[in-house]
């Protein structure tokens, strides 16, 4: 008798096989990227609307079944699956209406004939989600409830699986990731919002960036005037990397673990160290336009600006929560950090550059709370009625940042600071001009507590399996294509290939590599406009037939 805890994250999927009798973890499987094109939930939503929800659903379900195959157990032995994630991911998983998530305005929804969907707790039979012949026909699938339009079951998880929900003092909790869900608690009042920080916070959108995995730089520290690189080893533990001069790239001392990329937390650490050391005096300009962190790893001005946009979005959202709730900065007592980035980041370095409020008295770091809540539901630590009750309790105040003037004004200052080199003093002057309090100068160091060493603390006695290459393609016929292959050369991820087939010409995109709706460089570069990214079908490369 097995159970599955499944976390549908924006940057990738994670699942855990659980022995229901012993209530312990057996094995964990994760993907290195999301199977759909794009690096954020808006990309995934846009892709599903543009090419059809069924195509998006088929790619996701195919990927999950591929992950199940890595467990090497009979799938009919799986009796319960609990699924956690944000509203977009959960909706695509269930293959239900998503347009109400794309068009938040009620007038637009009425004009398009769109009705809002209730995204409460749902229970399915396996055949309804995975189809017949999957071996999961009678498996119980529990989809955990979302809270608000932008706030999903993953946000419920970050509140429940930290100390936040029971905290009497003023506290903020944030699930650090592409969507950056967060909430503030003031007495019995809970205010939620979601900052679309983008993928750079998890290492994507950075030229040498990658998700946390073996070979990834996760931290950087000063040592004898040089930078010591911390690299994750094969067990996902911090290993000793090179000692390097970041300005020249000279390796002073070879490390024990070699780097092949950098995580979002590594980028944050490098930014913090570069600013605090005085190496960078005007953002985002670096010495010689780059920092060298390894033989294959460099950070550029563009990387700093991209990461700064994400950090700025999170800081602006934190300040908006405080200002809109009437909480003075100095009254914030607790900051809870969850998610992979919230786990691995050096909290003090992140605090210095705005990833956590600089004035928070206490910072507590947790791991992947989304997977943890799904696991608790699978093994019965929570009754389903209790989960529903918790979600209803949290449905209190929600701030839609896209239409909030406080957020828009603060984020304008953040953009100027991170991308235009606006001095910190001018930043505060603009806040005051907008009628908001400026950021205080804080010299004290908060109490920092790290509850876990890894985002998935218990990966099971069979360990962790990482799936790097997903095998789904999306294909469209390219009428009029001259086979000049300019699209192949233009694609930054090398995701597109021109394929002559049966007297026609097609373009095949590797789905998880394609940057999707936010890119479309292949469309722009095509001299005969033979690519439109609309009439697309999902295919399996094994037999090149429709899924």
Q: Are residues 180 and 329 in the same domain?
A: yes
| Number of folded domains that form the chain | 4
DSSP assignment string, 319-360: HHHHHHHT--GGG--EEEEEHHHHHHS-HHHHHHHTSS-TT-
Q: In 3-state terms, the chain is what percent helix, strand and coil (to 5)?
A: 35, 25, 40
Expressed as residue numbers, the domain containing 83 is 2-154+374-381+458-467
Q: Is there a domain that residue 163 lies in?
A: no
d(CA 55, CA 547): 9
Q: What is the CATH number of the domain that holds 359?
A: 3.30.420
Q: Are residues 290 and 438 in the same domain?
A: no
d(CA 69, CA 51): 28
d(CA 261, CA 456): 21
Q: Are residues 344 and 428 in the same domain?
A: yes
Q: Is there a domain that residue 162 lies in?
A: no
Q: Is there a domain that residue 386 lies in?
A: no
Assess whether the previous peptide bond of 243 is cis (omega < 30° from 0). no
Angle at 363 between CA 185 and CA 434, to 5 degrees: 60
Where is the domain boundary, 241, 266, 299?
299
Q: Are residues 218 and 282 in the same domain?
A: yes
pLDDT of residue 236: 76
Q: Which residues pair with 222 in a beta bridge?
A: 227
- Do 212 and 218 contact (CB within 8 A), yes or no? yes
Cβ neighbours for 75, distance < 8 A, ≥ 6 positions apart? 68, 134, 135, 136
Cβ neighbours for 253, distance < 8 A, ≥ 6 positions apart? 242, 243
d(CA 241, CA 226): 12
d(CA 11, CA 177): 8
What's the order of all strands across the beta sheet hosting 13-19?
A: 122-125, 140-143, 78-85, 2-8, 13-19, 24-31, 464-467
Q: What backbone phi and psi angles, to 5 degrees, belong to 102?
A: -85, -35
Q: Are residues 216 and 333 in the same domain?
A: no
d(CA 98, CA 245): 49
Q: Are residues 124 and 10 in the same domain?
A: yes
pLDDT of residue 199: 65
Q: Residues, the chain, total?
A: 547
- Do 16 and 379 contact (CB within 8 A), yes or no? no
Where is the domain boundary, 267, 299, 331?
299
Q: Is there a domain that residue 278 lies in?
A: yes
Cβ neighbours for 89, distance < 8 A, ≥ 6 positions apart? 8, 9, 10, 41, 44, 152
Q: Is there a domain that residue 54 lies in?
A: yes
Cα dihedral 459, 464, 467, 468, rounded to 10, equals 110
- Do 18 and 451 contact (CB within 8 A), yes or no? no
d(CA 272, CA 175): 20
- In order along its 547 residues, the chain shows pLDDT tens digits of 899 999 999 889 999 999 999 999 999 999 988 999 987 888 899 999 988 899 999 999 999 999 999 999 999 999 999 999 999 999 999 999 998 888 766 777 778 788 778 899 999 999 999 998 899 999 999 999 988 777 889 999 999 999 999 999 999 999 998 788 999 999 989 999 988 777 667 666 788 888 777 899 999 999 999 999 999 888 778 899 999 999 999 999 999 999 999 988 899 999 999 999 999 988 999 988 999 999 889 999 999 999 999 999 999 999 999 999 999 999 999 999 998 888 889 999 999 999 999 999 999 999 999 999 999 999 999 989 988 988 887 766 889 898 899 999 999 999 999 999 999 899 999 999 999 999 988 778 899 999 998 889 999 999 999 898 898 999 999 999 999 999 999 998 899 999 998 899 999 999 999 988 878 899 999 999 999 988 888 886 554 444 4
First to last CA, the chain: 29
Estimate the crossing angle of helix 405-419 against helix 424-433, to 10 degrees: 160
Q: What is the CATH number of the domain that holds 477?
A: 3.30.70.20
d(CA 441, CA 449): 23
Q: Are residues 83 and 221 in the same domain?
A: no
Q: Are residues 282 and 216 in the same domain?
A: yes
Q: Are residues 358 and 420 in the same domain?
A: yes
């Amino acid at each position: 008798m097995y159970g599955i805890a499944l976390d549908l994250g924006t940057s990738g999927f994670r699942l855990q096989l659980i022995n229901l009798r012993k209530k312990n973890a057996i094995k964990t499987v994760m993907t290195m990227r999301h199977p759909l094109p794009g690096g954020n939930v808006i990309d995934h939503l846009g892709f599903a609307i543009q090419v059809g929800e069924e195509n998006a659903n088929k790619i996701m379900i195919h990927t999950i079944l591929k992950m199940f195959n890595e467990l090497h157990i009979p799938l009919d032995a799986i009796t319960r699956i609990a699924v956690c994630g944000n509203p977009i991911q959960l909706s695509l998983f269930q293959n239900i209406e998503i347009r109400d998530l794309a068009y938040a305005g009620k007038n637009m929804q009425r004009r398009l004939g769109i009705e809002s969907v209730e995204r409460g707790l749902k229970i399915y039979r396996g055949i309804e989600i995975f189809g017949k012949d999957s071996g999961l026909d009678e498996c119980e699938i529990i989809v955990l409830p979302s809270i608000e339009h932008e706030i999903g079951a993953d946000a419920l998880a970050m509140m429940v699986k930290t100390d936040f929900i029971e905290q009497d003092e003023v506290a903020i909790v944030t699930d650090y990731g592409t969507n950056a869900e967060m909430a503030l608690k003031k007495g019995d009042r809970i205010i939620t919002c979601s900052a679309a920080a983008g993928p750079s916070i998890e290492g994507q959108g950075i030229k040498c960036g990658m998700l946390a995995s073996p070979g990834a730089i996760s931290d950087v520290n000063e040592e004898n005037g040089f930078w010591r690189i911390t690299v994750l080893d094969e067990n996902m533990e911090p290993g000793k990397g090179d000692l390097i001069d970041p300005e020249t790239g000279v390796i002073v001392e070879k490390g024990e673990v070699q780097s092949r990329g950098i995580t979002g937390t590594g980028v944050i650490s490098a930014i913090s160290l570069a600013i605090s050391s005085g190496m960078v005096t005007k953002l985002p300009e670096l010495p010689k336009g780059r920092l060298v962190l390894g033989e294959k790893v460099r950070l550029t001005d563009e990387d700093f600006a991209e990461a700064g946009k994400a950090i700025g979005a999170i800081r602006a959202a934190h300040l908006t929560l405080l200002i809109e709730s009437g909480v003075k900065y100095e009254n914030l007592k607790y900051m809870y950090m969850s998610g992979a980035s919230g786990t691995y980041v050096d909290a003090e370095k992140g605090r210095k550059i705005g990833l956590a409020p600089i004035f928070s008295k206490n910072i507590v770091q947790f791991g992947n709370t989304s997977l943890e809540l799904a696991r608790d539901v699978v093994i019965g630590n929570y009754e389903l009625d209790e989960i529903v009750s918790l979600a209803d309790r949290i449905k209190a105040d929600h701030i839609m940042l896209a239409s909030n003037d406080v957020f828009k004004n603060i984020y304008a200052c953040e953009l100027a600071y991170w991308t235009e080199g606006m001095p910190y003093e001018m930043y505060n002057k603009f806040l005051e001009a907008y009628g908001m309090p400026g950021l205080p100068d804080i010299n004290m160091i908060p109490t920092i507590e790290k509850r876990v060493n890894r985002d998935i603390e218990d990966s099971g006695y069979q360990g962790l399996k990482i799936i790097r290459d997903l095998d789904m393609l999306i294909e469209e016929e390219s009428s009029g294509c001259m086979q000049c292959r300019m699209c192949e050369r233009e694609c930054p991820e090398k995701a597109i290939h021109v394929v002559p087939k049966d007297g026609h010409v097609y373009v095949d995109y590797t789905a998880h590599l394609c940057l999707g709706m936010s890119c479309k460089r292949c469309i722009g570069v095509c001299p005969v406009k033979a690519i439109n990214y609309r009439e697309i079908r999902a295919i399996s490369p094994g037999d090149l037939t429709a899924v």
